[in-house]
């Protein structure tokens, strides 16, 4: 089967060579096969139409300053609005993390009525009736977690009891209690604990969110500036093309007059007309570039598709920027390493890794906790003076026990019935595989963060190198293209004078005109490159926000409800 296909292919190729012998003999082996498409195509005859920008009101022009364009982008850009909200969320996360250390207060009043069956003559009510007990109790406590991991609590309670038990020295009785406790981790949990880790990560996250917002804002400002100066260049390109078109029409009129007098060949009229149409096409292309850049700028500064500014024929009105005093590369890099938000983001990443590493190191330690407690009890009551055995007088109740709730508190604050407690708790996990795995992971992430930080620094250095090189090259090109434009303009004017004196030809005049337009375009492109190079230097050195007086408080406020 494959042999038959091969024979068929050979026959087909041979037939093609016989049908077109040039293909077999004259064409080089390396020449590609080019098919014939759209056979017989010719450009349609279309009427000349006036060029205009689609979707805008042609007149009047609407001026826009660079400062206003930047402000609109910062207020109405959706990404910046999200960045601004993330900054707020990060701040709230810090507040929430601090809430772990808030003072907690609790109060619990209660009332209890108890009726209990009598079990014997002594633990019964009068005449062997049921035991009836009424209690009114209030318990309050204050506790807090400290950043060092300590837990402190202070509790106070009071209890009034009315009891009809046959054997009962006080009725009613008043009991009070003060409890003070301190739990102190000695190894695991000391210095670093989940609550403190959450707070430290939240603080670092807040700085990272703010740095991210600055990065987004800097990128937005740079993009708006770049588009703005490109739009300036596009309008100037239209002006250059329009000027060239006007000069070409003047030359066409001069040629027509010479042809009419018989002083020039008719073909020169055709040459002049061709040049006019060529410059008209250049002007239309320049207008298309204006429309494209207007739309790009509107996308950057507008958030609503029905904004009336979409209909505006925008024209930049900010004056040409003055060239900054660009310092040395070392000074630019030093400034960038201090001001670039990417450095702050990188530092935040390293801090997060360091916090996680400290937590992991603490996690492999055994848990030893020290608990200290102090309790002061108070008691008082109304003596019943009843001898249940009915023999002899009742032993008098000490005076410090006789009284109401005030006497009970007096005994409490006097420390008559103290209780002291100290306890050490030790616990550990054999193997610690989970803790050691977490430690190894944290160490790896710390190394990654350090490597990423070096990468950020290297990238910033390279960006400043490239930005400074682009700036110096653009300045050199601008000087060269300006000199070339001045020379081309002098040559063109000289050629026009020669032509008027009969010492030149239409071809040479048109050629000089084309050279002048190219020189003007090259100078304009060099000026545009220089403007953009200044923007790149500002962005690379981290000064773009400060130079444009950008405040982060209003990021994206224009798109929020």
E strands, 164-237, in order: 170-185
pLDDT at 25: 43
On whether residue 514 sits in a domain, the answer given is yes
Residue 275: pLDDT over 70: yes
pLDDT at 133: 86
Inter-residue contact 235 to 313 (CB < 8 Å): no
Work out the percent of the chain whose per-residue pLDDT is above 70: 86
Inter-residue contact 343 to 460 (CB < 8 Å): yes
The CATH number given to whatever domain includes residue 82 is 1.20.1600.10
Alpha-carbon dihedral sign for residues 320, 239, 510, 282: positive
Cα 206–Cα 207–Cα 210 angle in degrees, nearest 5: 85
Which among 407, 427, 447 is the end of a domain? Answer: 427
Q: Which residues, at least 6 apart from 105, have a Cβ–Cβ distance to it below 8 Å? A: 140, 141, 142
Cα(52)–Cα(232) distance, rounded to whole angstroms? 17
pLDDT at 15: 42
Same domain, 303 and 390: no
Residue 557: pLDDT over 70: no
The single residue listed with the structure tokens 């260049």 is: 233
pLDDT at 18: 39
Same domain, 119 and 221: no
Inter-residue contact 552 to 213 (CB < 8 Å): yes
Strands 151-163 and 131-145: antiparallel
Which helix (H) or strand (E) element contains residue 289? helix 266-301
Inter-residue contact 85 to 558 (CB < 8 Å): no
Cα(243)–Cα(282) distance, rounded to whole angstroms? 11
Which among 427, 446, 468 is the end of a domain? Answer: 427
Residue 549: pLDDT over 70: yes
> Taking all residues of the chain, what is their mean pLDDT, rounded to a whole number?
83
Q: What average pLDDT does the segment 138-155 reach?
A: 93
| Domain around 256 | 64-91+196-355+438-550
Same domain, 349 and 305: yes
Same domain, 168 and 81: no
Interior/surface letters 294-329, b for 16+ CB within 10 angstroms, e for the rest: bbbbbebbbbeeeeeeeebbbebeeeeeeeeebeee
Higher pLDDT, 479 or 506: 479
Higher pLDDT, 196 or 59: 196
Q: Which of 260-264, 390-394, 407-411, 412-416 has the lowest mean pLDDT?
A: 390-394
Residue 48 pLDDT grade (very low, low, confident, very high; cuts 50, 70, 90): low
Q: What is the 3-state secondary structure (H, E, C) of 182-193?
A: EEEECCCCCCCC
On whether residue 6 sits in a domain, the answer given is no
Reduced to 3 states (helix: H, G, I; strand: E, B; else coil), residue 502 is: coil
Q: What average pLDDT does the segment 397-424 reach?
A: 90
Same domain, 449 and 347: yes
Residue 27 pLDDT grade (very low, low, confident, very high; cuts 50, 70, 90): very low
Same domain, 279 and 321: yes
Residue 74: pLDDT over 50: yes
Q: What average pLDDT does the segment 372-398 reach?
A: 77
On whether residue 101 sits in a domain, the answer given is no
Same domain, 463 and 399: no
pLDDT at 183: 94
493-540, pLDDT tens digit by residue? 898 888 788 787 777 877 887 888 888 888 888 888 888 888 899 889
On whether residue 20 sits in a domain, the answer given is no
pLDDT at 16: 43
Q: Which of 2-16, 133-147, 206-220, 223-237 has the lowest mean pLDDT?
A: 2-16
Alpha-carbon dihedral sign for residues 72, 74, 79, 80: negative
Work out the percent of the chain whose per-residue pLDDT is above 90: 36
Cα 269–Cα 270–Cα 275 angle in degrees, nearest 5: 100
Same domain, 236 and 305: yes
Higher pLDDT, 195 or 13: 195
pLDDT at 561: 41
Residue 466: pLDDT over 90: yes
Question: What are the angstrom distances between the C-alpha of 546 and each of 149, 334, 541, 543, 549?
Answer: 42, 16, 11, 5, 5
**How many structural domains are present in the chain?**
2
50 burial via Cβ count (<10 Å: 0-12, 13-18, 19+): exposed
Residue 52: pLDDT over 80: no
Cα(432)–Cα(437) distance, rounded to whole angstroms? 8
Same domain, 313 and 461: yes
Same domain, 126 and 176: yes
What is the four-CA torsion angle of 285, 287, 291, 296, rounded to 10 degrees?
70
Inter-residue contact 301 to 69 (CB < 8 Å): yes
Residue 49: pLDDT over 90: no
Same domain, 248 and 348: yes
Q: Which of 111-125, 177-191, 262-276, 544-558 has the lowest mean pLDDT?
A: 544-558
Number of CB atoms found within 10 A of residue 520's CB: 22
On whether residue 15 sits in a domain, the answer given is no
pLDDT at 83: 85
Cα(315)–Cα(58) distance, rounded to whole angstroms? 11
* Bridge partners for 131 per DSSP: 116
Residues constituting the chain:
561
Residue 552 pLDDT grade (very low, low, confident, very high; cuts 50, 70, 90): confident
Higher pLDDT, 166 or 340: 340
Residue 346: pLDDT over 90: yes
- What's this model's pTM, rounded to 2 decimal places? 0.73
pLDDT at 154: 96
Inter-residue contact 380 to 407 (CB < 8 Å): yes
pLDDT at 46: 55
Q: Can you give the C-alpha Rg of the chain in angstroms?
A: 46
On whether residue 313 sits in a domain, the answer given is yes
Which among 427, 452, 474 is the end of a domain? Answer: 427
Residue 91: pLDDT over 60: yes
From 148, 198, 139, 239, select the one nearest 521 (Cα to Cα): 239
* Bridge partners for 378 per DSSP: 176
On whether residue 98 sits in a domain, the answer given is no
On whether residue 433 sits in a domain, the answer given is no
Same domain, 311 and 221: yes
Most confident among 121-135, 274-288, 477-491 (mean pLDDT): 477-491
Residue 167 pLDDT grade (very low, low, confident, very high; cuts 50, 70, 90): confident
Token readout for 190 is 């000391």
Higher pLDDT, 120 or 561: 120
Cα 428–Cα 430–Cα 436 angle in degrees, nearest 5: 90
């Amino acid at each position: 089967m494959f042999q038959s296909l091969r024979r068929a292919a050979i026959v087909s190729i041979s037939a093609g060579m016989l049908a077109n012998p040039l293909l077999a003999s004259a064409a080089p082996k390396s020449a590609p096969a080019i098919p014939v498409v759209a056979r017989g195509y010719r450009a349609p005859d279309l009427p000349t139409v006036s060029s205009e920008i689609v979707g805008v009101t042609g007149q009047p022009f609407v001026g826009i300053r660079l400062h206003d364009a930047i402000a609109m982008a910062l207020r109405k850009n959706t990404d910046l609005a999200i960045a601004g909200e993330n900054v707020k969320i990060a701040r709230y996360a810090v507040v929430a993390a601090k809430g772990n250390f808030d003072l907690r207060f609790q109060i619990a009043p209660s009332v209890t009525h108890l009726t209990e069956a009598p079990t014997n003559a002594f633990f019964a009510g009068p005449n062997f009736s049921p035991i009836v007990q009424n209690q009114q109790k209030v318990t309050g406590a204050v506790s807090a977690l400290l950043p060092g991991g300590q837990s402190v609590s202070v509790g106070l309670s009071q209890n009034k009891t009315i009891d009809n038990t046959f054997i009962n020295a006080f009725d009613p009785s008043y009991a009070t209690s003060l409890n003070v406790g301190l739990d102190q981790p000695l190894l695991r949990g000391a210095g670093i604990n989940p609550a403190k880790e959450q707070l430290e990560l939240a603080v670092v996250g807040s700085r990272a969110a703010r740095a991210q917002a600055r990065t987004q804002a800097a990128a937005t400002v740079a993009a708006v500036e770049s588009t703005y100066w490109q739009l300036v260049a596009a309008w100037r390109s239209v002006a250059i093309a329009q000027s060239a078109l006007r000069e070409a029409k003047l030359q066409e009129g001069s040629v027509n007059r010479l042809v009419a007098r018989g002083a020039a060949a008719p073909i020169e009229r055709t040459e002049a007309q061709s040049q006019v149409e060529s410059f008209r096409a250049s002007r239309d292309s320049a207008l298309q570039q204006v429309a494209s850049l207007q739309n790009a700028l509107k996308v950057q500064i507008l958030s609503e598709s029905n904004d009336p500014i979409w209909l505006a024929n925008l024209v930049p009105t900010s004056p040409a920027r003055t060239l900054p005093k660009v310092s040395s590369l070392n000074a630019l890099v030093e400034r960038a390493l201090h001001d670039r938000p990417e450095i702050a983001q990188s530092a935040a990443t390293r801090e997060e890794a360091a916090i996680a590493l400290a937590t992991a190191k603490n996690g492999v330690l055994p848990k030893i906790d020290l608990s200290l407690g102090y309790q002061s009890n108070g008691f008082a009551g109304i003596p019943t003076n009843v001898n249940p055995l009915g023999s002899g007088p009742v032993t008098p109740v000490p005076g410090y026990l006789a009284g109401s709730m005030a006497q009970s508190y007096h005994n409490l604050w006097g420390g008559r019935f103290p209780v002291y407690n100290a306890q050490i708790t030790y616990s550990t996990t054999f193997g610690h595989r989970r803790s050691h795995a977490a430690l190894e992971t944290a160490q790896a992430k710390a190394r990654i963060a350090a490597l990423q930080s070096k990468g950020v620094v290297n990238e910033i250095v390279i960006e400043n190198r490239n930005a400074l090189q682009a700036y110096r090259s653009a300045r050199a090109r601008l000087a060269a293209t300006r000199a070339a434009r001045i020379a081309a303009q002098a040559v063109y004017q000289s050629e026009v004078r020669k032509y008027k004196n009969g010492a030149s030809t239409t071809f040479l005049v048109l050629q000089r005109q084309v050279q002048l337009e190219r020189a003007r375009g090259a100078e304009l492109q060099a000026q545009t490159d220089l403007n953009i190079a200044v923007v790149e230097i500002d962005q690379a050195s981290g000064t773009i926000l400060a130079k444009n007086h950008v405040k982060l408080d209003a990021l994206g406020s224009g798109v929020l409800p």
